[in-house]
Amino acid sequence: MKVAVVGATGLVGTVMLKVLEKRNFPVTELMPVASQRSVGKEVTFRGNTFQVIGLQDAVDACPDVAIFSAGGSVSLAWAPKFAKVGTTVIDNSSAWRMDPGKKLIVPEVNADALEENDKIIANPNCSTIQLVAALKPLHSRFIIKRLVISTYQSITGTGVKAVQQFHIERDGKVPSKEEMAYHHPINENCIPHCDVFLENDYTKEEMKLVHETKKIFNDDSLGITATAVRVPVDGGHSESVNIEFEKPFEVDEIKKELNEAVGVVVLDDVANNQYPMPLMAKNKDEVFVGRIRRDESIENGLNLWIVADNLRKGAATNAVQIAEYLVEKKWIGEGVMV
């Protein structure tokens, strides 16, 4: 099982290596891959040191699977080259997500959409992953009519530069213009601006939630609106989600569905101040759901609070879980079971 991790020296790539190790993915040969400026650097995996190689060298080695976390332009240019030599690509960028010929996968939700000849598989946006993981069992039973989503997204979703800006400001210093990842200070602040603004005055991040959720659920009839906010949290995205169902429900039925959902942990005991928070979700692979309550202002309305580590389930873990599914199906490797 030859595994290439493209973008191995980046924020998500580093976590990817940790997740592959933690989940005991059957790697027999690891290829850490990065841009030319990082070639020759070293990364550690399972106690061993590996030298970073370039993209063309990785393609020439024909890995079984290549997990990409190196940005959309790299994925657009190089994923087809890997696919051409028989490598299955799992891409963490936005490059292929809305391509009608590519599958957009959260394993607990729609792994059954995958086929053996899928050579480029898209990993959804981090905020979409935790959303659909929690909503899938509810949509299956009660049919979601409309979603109103407000996100509270960690600085780690922006990248290393944002984390550096945050810590410079936390130390009481003023970052230089070159050190600013955002247009405004992030320490002690909330910025209602994730990614770039589009012609409709929504941000790209907000529209990802709309389009990706519809694609994953294979349901264009869903009404979805979103507001995405960057908050001074070092790890973990939170979402306030208001749902309008077509069918009536009891809150106990909602909790039962969520408790039985794979990869979802219900933490909802307000009498003892128990509810999901990014601090407790950090470095965990599950999606946490709490503050489960009826929306008394509309018929068949519900409110949820959903939290997950955006670098784990929101990125690295989901990608590795896709790879695990491919191994289980014996579509990659030589039939080695996880």
Q: List the domains of the chain with CATH numbers.
A: 2-124+315-328 (3.40.50.720), 127-310 (3.30.360.10)
Cα gap 257→209, rounded to integer Å = 22
Q: What is the pLDDT of residue 338?
A: 33
Cα gap 255→102, rounded to integer Å = 33
Q: Is the pTM of this model over 0.85?
A: yes
Q: What is the pLDDT of residue 336?
A: 41
What string of pLDDT tens digits covers the 338 residues of the chain? Answer: 999 999 999 999 999 999 999 999 999 999 999 989 999 999 999 999 999 999 999 999 999 999 999 999 999 999 999 999 999 999 999 999 999 999 999 999 999 999 999 999 999 999 999 999 999 999 999 999 999 999 999 999 999 999 999 999 999 999 999 999 999 999 999 999 999 999 999 999 999 999 999 999 999 999 999 999 999 999 899 999 999 999 999 999 999 999 999 999 999 999 999 999 999 999 999 999 999 999 999 999 999 999 999 999 999 999 999 999 999 999 998 644 33
Tell me the catalytic residues.
Answer: 126, 237
Q: What is the pLDDT of residue 3?
A: 98
